[in-house]
Structure 1
């Protein structure tokens, strides 16, 4: 569930059944800049992968979210990362792997170290959150926005050095 601007976790909400476009603006610390993230949420359904590939065209950052209580959800992260990297084969795309539902401690099956190691091996940052408990739910947005901002600044500097 997408939490935005202090919205609280809803006990009754509709699961993502298609592809949703969500927009989130993130302020970049110690600057006057902000990054507007356009997020495509498919809830990991394979049926929507072809549609997503058309929407992605040229992604600038990625966020793969898995459920820490579901081994298959974690395993699917590799499939989604491969699809995305195939789509943008010539450029490095910064991103973050996010373990969600950390509030379900007794049901956890994917250990933090396992996921963190996988993320590092694949050039991704890693964080965990619980949207239900409102813990660390902003972290993935800040990671993506800061990474995108750094890339943007590097490209602007490169452009200026060519002039």
Structure 2
């Protein structure tokens, strides 16, 4: 049984649902707040995810960060050496999707030269009638940038655990590859 620890950075524009996602994941869907106050700075949440078909798990240290540039200097220090990335945008807000490039660039600058597993998450699928970012467009962008992709509705409790399961499997796989490399050198 292997217990891995991973620093997970949750990034995206303000009001896309990062804090709601983190809270729902941490409480297994038991804590959806209807009224959120905008995150100022960073909130740290911790939760373990079991890896299917193994006895292994990944304990995530989730850094839920403010989406405002005002806090960028603070973020840069706390974002140092991430293990996994979770970029969130609102499917009804094209600017939040377009800004994912900026967030990804900032995150990758903190881990230059390293492969960091990541996932792009389209939130608010419950507002399908107001969708402006098409799933295919987002999927293609994610693939182009080496990210996995998923959509969810935190409000409707749909797929809110998916991003973290994707990240846990990716991080675990990376760990296994490093162990195999190490053993091949021995």
Aligned structure 1 segments of 4 or more residues deviating by more than 4 angstroms: none
Asked whether the equivalents of residues 25 and 34 of structure 1 are also in contact (C-alpha less than 8 Å), the reply is yes
TM-score, normalized by length of structure 2? 0.83
Bigger share in strand: 2
Q: Deviations along 1:39-83, whole A, 9 cap, x unmatched?
A: 111142212222222112211111100111111111110001011
- 1:12 to partner: Cα distance: 2.7
The aligned residue for residue 75 of structure 2 is 52
Gaps of 5+ in 2: 1-19
Q: Distance in 2 between matches of 1:63 and 1:162?
A: 33
1:100-139 equivalences under 5 Å are 100-139=123-162
- 1:14 to partner: Cα distance: 2.9
Asked whether the equivalents of residues 84 and 167 of structure 2 are also in contact (C-alpha less than 8 Å), the reply is yes
Task: Report SS of the residue matched to 1:99.
Answer: strand
TM-score, normalized by length of structure 1? 0.94
Task: Report SS of the residue matched to 1:115.
Answer: helix
Count of residue pairs brought into register by the alignment: 163
Gaps of 5+ in 1: none
Matched, 1:78 2:101: yes
Matched, 1:38 2:78: no
Q: Distance in 1 between matches of 2:118 and 2:86?
A: 6
Rate the CA distance shift 1:138–1:68 in 2: closer, same or farther, 3 A.
same
Matched, 1:87 2:110: yes
The aligned residue for residue 176 of structure 2 is 153
